[in-house]
Amino acid sequence: MQPGTVHVIGAGIAGLAAAVRLAERGRHVVVHEQARQAGGRCRSYFDAAVGLMIDNGNHLVLSGNHAVLAFLQTIGSEHGLEGPRQAEFFFIDLKSKERWTLRPNEGAFPWWILSRAHRVPGSKARDYLRLLPLLWAGPDARIGDTISCRGVLYERLWRPFLLAALNIEPGEASARLAGAVVRETLAKGGDACRPLIATEGLSSAFIEPARSFIEEHGGGVLLDRRLRALTREADRVTSLDFGEEQIALGPNDFVVLAVPARVAEMLLPEISAPSQFNAIVNAHFRVAPPPGTPLLQGVVNGLVEWLFAFPDRLSVTISGADRLIDAPRDALARDVWVEVAEITGLPAHIPPWQIVKERRATFSATPEQDSKRPAAATDWANLVLAGDWTQTGLPATLEGAVRSGNEAAALIIATKGAAAAPGPK
């Protein structure tokens, strides 16, 4: 039986991860993307306001994100991420003006917390152990019900870390999701916590190499292709409606629906999906970072939360930013730059800037919304789901997106006859 075509709907990270995994296994893959550029929420574009290629959102990868690193290795882009040789995180408290650097030691036992010189200023070794209850939290538990959300260590480390991972005020977030992140990164020591950044842009590291890989393996990525409807008969999807083109599916064809949650619900009203989302705001400034500026810097007691130093610009990420969505862009840029100038010692005069607001950046990582996430498998034999909003066990991160694509591909590969090679008749 000849293998059919797999139609991947959506060229974000989840869709591309599924397509790459399938293409690697010899499947014929066609990716359909409604936008005019692949990448979804993980892409680069030329911005006229700053006159540079910028990312639509800053993304941090940790060395413990094994699915992301394996994806990059497959597409030949493992060198697209840069970071320190050992785990280190630079912080500044804008209120107290203190600066410090955390360097977790390699290995799971946290020797570094036993040294006052290596701990967060004002914290004690026993304070770090109070994060442990997150590791066995149940699906209904919130972080605020599981650990104390106050104190020096919380404000200077746990809150910045968890807010960045979950994109919601940690006290309200799912303790189970937080525990999954901690278990795979901090709990494994410095080997799993090394920060990695796509300094040449997200598209250069993730999107362009993935597209090339798919095309080199006989597949294709088609842009400006919006799926309008799915036709279903019995337990199968039988056709795809792209408006001007209808694609009839053969008995061995499959569909990976790797679109945002709200689009998936429009196409498949029967499925369950998260219904609440949180915003992220990014600010980009065209200015060369001063010598010695860390690649990544955490900020406490400021509007800025994380400062990224790219070769040609400084970029800021503010998570859980629903409160800023309607703020005037010019005023927001000025407020952010005041803090960036203080952090870096640059002049107060604001350079060319751009503010990028992503209103629905991630699903709201609460226990209630986590419970609405669907599995990759569906009631239709030839349709699977992918996306960071599906049930990956992680919050909406790059790691979760890649894992969702891998899971979707694995379900298709495992389907009886789906990957069968031609045989004698």
Rg, Å, the chain Cα set:
22
Helix axes 66-74, 398-414, angle to 10 degrees: 70
What number of H helices and E strands is found in the chain?
A: 13, 19
The whole-angstrom separation of Cα 340 and Cα 349 is 11
pTM here is: 0.95
* One-letter identity of residue 89: F
417 pLDDT higher than 70: no
- What average pLDDT does the segment 48-64 reach? 96
pLDDT band at 191 (very low <50, low <70, confident <90, very high): very high
The DSSP result for 398-411, as a single string, is HHHHHHHHHHHHHH
Backbone angles phi, psi at 133, to 5 degrees: -55, -20
So what's the pLDDT on residue 2? Answer: 63
381 pLDDT higher than 80: yes
So what's the pLDDT on residue 3? Answer: 79
281 pLDDT higher than 90: yes
The whole-angstrom separation of Cα 402 and Cα 392 is 10
1 pLDDT higher than 50: no
Average model confidence (pLDDT) across the chain: 95
For 195, the 3-state DSSP assignment is strand
pLDDT band at 120 (very low <50, low <70, confident <90, very high): very high
388-400 residue pLDDT tens: 999 999 999 999 9
The whole-angstrom separation of Cα 61 and Cα 83 is 10
Which of these ranges, 82-91, 107-116, 195-204, 411-420, has the smallest mean pLDDT? 411-420
Are the CB atoms for 45 and 263 separated by under 8 Å? no
Pairing verdict, β 353-363 and 313-318: unpaired
- What average pLDDT does the segment 298-307 reach? 98
420 pLDDT higher than 90: no
- What average pLDDT does the segment 54-80 reach? 96
pLDDT band at 96 (very low <50, low <70, confident <90, very high): very high
228 pLDDT higher than 90: yes
pLDDT band at 424 (very low <50, low <70, confident <90, very high): very low
423 pLDDT higher than 60: no
The whole-angstrom separation of Cα 186 and Cα 64 is 9
The whole-angstrom separation of Cα 214 and Cα 76 is 12
pLDDT band at 108 (very low <50, low <70, confident <90, very high): confident
> What domains does the chain contain, in order, with CATH numbers?
5-42+202-274+367-414 (3.50.50.60), 103-193 (no CATH), 277-363 (3.90.660.20)
Are the CB atoms for 20 and 38 separated by under 8 Å? no
Q: What share of the chain is helix, strand, coil (3-state, %, to 5)?
A: 35, 25, 45
The DSSP result for 229-246, as a single string, is EEEEETTEEEEEE-SS-E
- What average pLDDT does the segment 366-381 reach? 98
Task: Determine which helix (DSSP H) or strand (DSSP E) holds 165, and give its type and residue range.
Answer: helix 159-166
